[in-house]
Structure 1
Amino acid sequence: MTITATRTELDKHRELNTDHAAVKSVKARIAEAGVEYLYYQIVTLTGRVVGKVVPARHLMRNVENGIQAHPGVVADLQADSSGALVGGSPERGECVVLPDLDSFGVLPWDHRTGFFFCRMYEPDHAPDGAGGRPVPVDVRGNLHRTHAGFTERTGLVMRSGCEPEVSWRMPGLSTEHRPGTPHSMYHIGQMEQLRPVYQRVMEYGRALGLDMVESNCEDPGQLELNWAYDLAERTADRLILHRQICRQVAREMGATASFMPKPEDDKLGNGCHHNVSFWRGEHNVLADPDNPDLHLTETGKHALGGILTHAAAFTAVMAPTVNSYKRYCHTGQFAPLEINWGMDNKTCAVRLPASGRLEVKSPDSLVNPYLSHAVLLAAAEDGLTQGIDPGPPRRAGTEPLPGPFGSLPLTLKEALDLFAGDRAVTRGLGPEMADMFLRLKTLEWERFCGAVTDWERMMYDGDGC
């Protein structure tokens, strides 16, 4: 009897990486650019980019065998109060990190260096039959699997575009706004002060495949530089690249690029609105091509209903830091609070700015795009499956009264409690990643609660108390 071994997901990825045409294309691009070093990159739960650098001459070895990494890096090697690693014991074996060849790029600021985004797998020798399986806490791999499952069950794919806002500080740049004077939103004079920044960020973005489109300045020192929408996985990769670009430009210019969601009390927050649409082939199911008015199809309403239903619970993912909730607390600054929707209404949590796309406004500038897109897929699928009604849109000029979907949480702790109790949202991440996310972010909240801040010193220390 002949026993045929089952092909694992690791085997399938290796087969893709040894495809002759794909390898030939990457080798040609490496040779053309003069690349000598390659970053093999993975993304952590908090959106940090980690990995290893390898001389490019070892390409084929790494294409087939990957690199090795401990899964604890996904949780930033953070330890809890007992000293235990959130990402697993040091005795746990390392993972195989395999590059996706179609993610290859060359750093536009140093053509000797290229990179791949990677996915993580258990090694062939892993115990208990786990050999070759995807590592469940790999955020990038999870989004690929979640999107594929969504498409298999619904026949739809999600396309998205992000609106990342970044606060810049640099010599000679005025970021002050005097009350009563004209605001700097869309002000070309403010854009001119930031011209060296936006030109270089756009230049590097174009070189890395970001189709840069309309961009603007919304607050003194704040830039929102946008690129064209695409499949959710590609948009997530590009948002990570955009942050890497901004940090590099900051280094080159002696500037600081802050992704802090609420960097100053009196300034607008840094959001990262997600514009999503759902497609069957080349047809956008959110829009009826025969209806010229601003509208949302029944299918679109059900997807929206799911997003609104789970918006409070997935806020922990969309606003993943202690600082994130200060952006919601400052009302009147375009950040949402009530969970509602409206037709081109900037006060709403979800806005329909044009027929065919939904703008989800809760994500901020430190969002992990692989997690945010995964939970949006899970929420939308629940709405499609259950036929959830989002209710009528909020009319302009009316008070945003509390509705059936409630309000967004106002602290990270409240958001984490809601996240833990929502099966649809946690299903988007899978049980192991949802558990690790909860542990990591609960640890962040506990450390914050134990920290003494400048605000406390101002309020309670000295003669003023």
Structure 2
Amino acid sequence: MTGVLTQSPSSTEVTLTDLEAYVQSDGRVELVQQVRAKINELGIQYIYYQFVSLTGKITGKGAPADHWETMAEKGIQLVYGATVNLALDRTQNYLGYGPESAELVAIPDPETFCQLPWDKRVARVYCFCFRNREEEENPGAFLTSDCRGNLKRIHDEFKLKHGLQLRHGCEPEMMWLKKGPDGKPDGGATKPNCYHIDQFEELRPVFLRVIEYSRAMGLDMIQGDHEDAPGQLELNFMYDDALRTADRLTTYRQICAQVGREFNLIACFMSKPFMGVSASGCHHNLSLWRDGEETVKTFDLETLPGLEGNYTYSHGGENTFLPVVSDSPRLPGPIGLNCIGGVIAHLGALTAIGCSTVNSYRRLWDAGFWAPVYSDWGYQNRTCGLRVSAPGRFEYRAVDSMVNPYLMAGAILKAFDDGITKNLDPGDPEHRNIYTAMEEGKQVKKLPMSLGEALERLADDEVIKSALPGDMYRLFDEYKRDEWIRFLATVSNWDMDNYIACLP
């Protein structure tokens, strides 16, 4: 939102750009000073200024810590196309933004400043992105291809409208793969035995290093297990405010990549690298809260290696998803039911966000491995797209390990808003296995079963498209349609196996 600066009671009001309003926002000068104190206390020599691209990739620049104050005010500049990975389409043209486009300005969010535990000379800070100061149109405005900034604004609008905060946690499954002599994947580091402690133990040095680094960067690690694919682990951290959860998932991926380098393994977040075993999902457990408090968790660290925002968690208040009817102890309250109704109504379009790659749909087609295929909900019913996983929360299941968590949370908030505003009724929960229910005559919509179909469902859904404001929908659609078309135009081993000797 644009800020306003009043010079004096009798002066003319000066309208600030979004960039200027953010740099001059209340309390930010003090936060910038606190970062300087941390730099000096921890001996930080270098800082990564990072933001997240459309696909969830971490991008940005680095600079010596001497220049912190200048960077905090002026930011870093790099081409708009960095928000779409500077990717080329199938005709070798840049996707989204051409070379003639201006450079964005990324301004650091001081509260996210944190030392990297694997090299304590280095820190990272997330940034918000803005249009260039010299643009002819909307100079210094929020950059709408900044997925992190979009989520913050969408969540702020939702809280203002409904007085409710989205708190969610995620289940980030991923696979630890061995490297072959050529450096490419050479199978999982363990066998595909679900919940097997011996297989978990085999990766103990790896997951303990991940947990060590995660706690140092503010992730409250809670539980983990070996899943049922080769080298597949799920290490969970505590749920929290939507933006902080998205930041922590992104940080977790960065940590896993580093630990992979240290152990000569590949930290694989590709959803389905192997057929015949489970894929890697990233189920989102969702709840809406009214009021509550903020608490800093220190994890017994002698000194916090970053600003308190990294270690801050929301807790307490009223969980509006909790059951309120005494004779239905599992039935969510009215707001929860409306939100389920909103998600069910928009599940097709949401699938384009949660299952955003060609590979995502291998997970849905490889039947028998618990991936959701139908648009329904139930209690502890893993055959449905949504399940009430415990009183006070429900699990959104049509999302995999390659999700951009900022886009996903923003889209879920838009579905929730539609459900609450329109008082959408999700219908009765399904207790049966959904396949049995369908055999018995139940009519259930199927999720999109390809990236191309999901993009069509998104194109027809104005509610979910509103979670991709400004340039973001154009960029997402352009990037993903190109990905889909390039896949369709690719000759694979499957083609050769099936057609090379088909005639005469």
TM-score w.r.t. the length of structure 2 is: 0.87
In 2, the alpha carbon distance for the partners of 1:190 and 1:99 equals: 41
For 2:209 and 2:254, how far apart are their aligned partners in 1?
13
Q: Does residue 1:170 correspond to 2:178, yes or no?
A: yes
Check whether the contact 2:325–2:331 (CA below 8 A) recurs between aligned residues.
Answer: no
In structure 1, the partner of 2:142 is 134
Secondary structure of 2:237's partner? coil
Match of 1:326 among 344, 358, 362: 362
SS in 1 for 2:81: helix
- Deviation (angstroms), 1:24: 2.5
Equivalent of 1:252 in 262, 269, 274: 262
User: Displacement, 1:403?
Assistant: 6.0
Percent identity, aligned pairs only, is: 40
Say if 1:396 and 1:299 are closer, same or farther in 2 by CA, change over 3 A.
same
**Deviation (angstroms), 1:228:** 0.1
For residue 342 of structure 1, give the secondary structure of its aligned residue in structure 2. strand
Report which stretch shifted further, 417-426 or 389-398.
389-398
Distance, in Å, in 2 between the alignment partners of 1:302 and 1:463 is 54
RMSD: 2.0
Aligned equivalent of 2:387: 351
Q: Does 1:272 align with 2:282?
A: yes
The residue number in structure 2 matching 1:188 is 197
Inter-partner Cα distance in structure 2 for 1:125 and 1:216: 51
Distance 1:35 1:143 in 2: 30
Question: For 1:174 and 1:236, how far apart are their aligned partners in 2?
Answer: 27
| Partner SS, residue 170 of structure 1 | strand
Choose from 81, 87, 101 the match for 1:92.
101
Structure 1 residue 106, shift from structure 2 partner = 0.9
| Aligned with 2:318 (options 283, 289, 299) | 283
Q: Show CA shifts across 1:239-288 (max 9, x none).
A: 11111111111111001111111111111000000011011111111114
Residue 160 (structure 2) aligns with: 152
Once the two structures are superposed, residues 179-200 of structure 1 have per-residue CA deviations (whole angstroms, 9 ceiling, x without a partner) of: xxxxx21110110111111111
Q: Matched residues in 2 for 1:358 and 1:404: separation? A: 23
Matches within 5 A, 1:404-419: 406-419=445-458
For 1:319-348, what per-residue CA distance to the aligned partner results, in whole angstroms no more than 9, with x for missing partners?
010000010112221110011111111221
Which residue of 2 is the match for residue 180 of structure 1? Answer: none
1:243 equivalent in structure 2: 253
- The answer as to whether partners of 1:288 and 1:297 remain within 8 angstroms in 2 is yes
Verify: 1:423 aligned to 2:462, yes or no: yes
Task: Give 3-state SS (helix, strand or coil) of 2:287's partner.
Answer: strand
Q: Confirm or deny: 8 A CA contact 1:340 1:403 kept in the other structure.
A: no
Is 1:368 paired with 2:407? no
CA spacing shift, 1:174–1:146, aligned 2, 3 Å: closer
Offset at residue 461 of structure 1 (A): 1.9
Deviation of 1:87 after TM superposition, in Å, equals 2.4
Query: Deviation digits for residues 351-393 of structure 1, max 9, x if unmatched?
Result: 1011111100011000000000010000111011111110111
CA contact (8 A) 2:276 2:366 kept: no
What is the correspondence of 1:227-238 to structure 2 with a 5 Å cutoff?
Answer: 227-238=237-248
1:425 aligns to what SS in structure 2? helix
Q: Distance in 2 between matches of 1:116 and 1:369?
A: 18
Contact 1:173 1:193 in 2 (8 A): no
CA contact (8 A) 2:190 2:202 kept: no
Report the alpha carbon displacement of residue 98 of structure 1 after superposing the two structures with TM: 0.2
CA distance in 2, matches of 1:425, 1:400: 29
Q: CA deviation at 1:83?
A: 4.1
SS in 2 for 1:407: coil
TM superposition shift of 1:123:
2.9
* 1:120 aligned partner: 129
Structure 2 letter corresponding to 1:425? I
The alpha carbon displacement at 1:289 in A equals 6.7
Do the aligned partners of 1:18 and 1:63 also contact (CA within 8 Å) in 2?
no
In structure 1, the partner of 2:12 is 3
> SS of 1:110's equivalent?
coil
> Normalising by the residue count of structure 1, what TM-score does the alignment of the two structures yield?
0.94
Alignment partner of 2:388: what SS? strand
Q: Greater CA deviation, 138-147 or 76-85?
A: 76-85
- Can you give the 5+ residue segments of structure 2 that lack an aligned partner in the other structure? 1-9, 180-186, 292-316
Distance change (3 Å), C-alpha of 1:117 and 1:395: same
Distance 2:210 2:370 in 1: 25
Task: Tell me, yes or no, if structure 1 residue 381 matches structure 2 residue 391.
Answer: no
Q: Which runs of 5+ in 1 are unaligned?
A: 178-183
Q: Is 1:434 matched with 2:473? A: yes
Indicate if the aligned counterparts of 1:340 and 1:350 stay in contact, CA closer than 8 A: yes
Higher strand share: 2
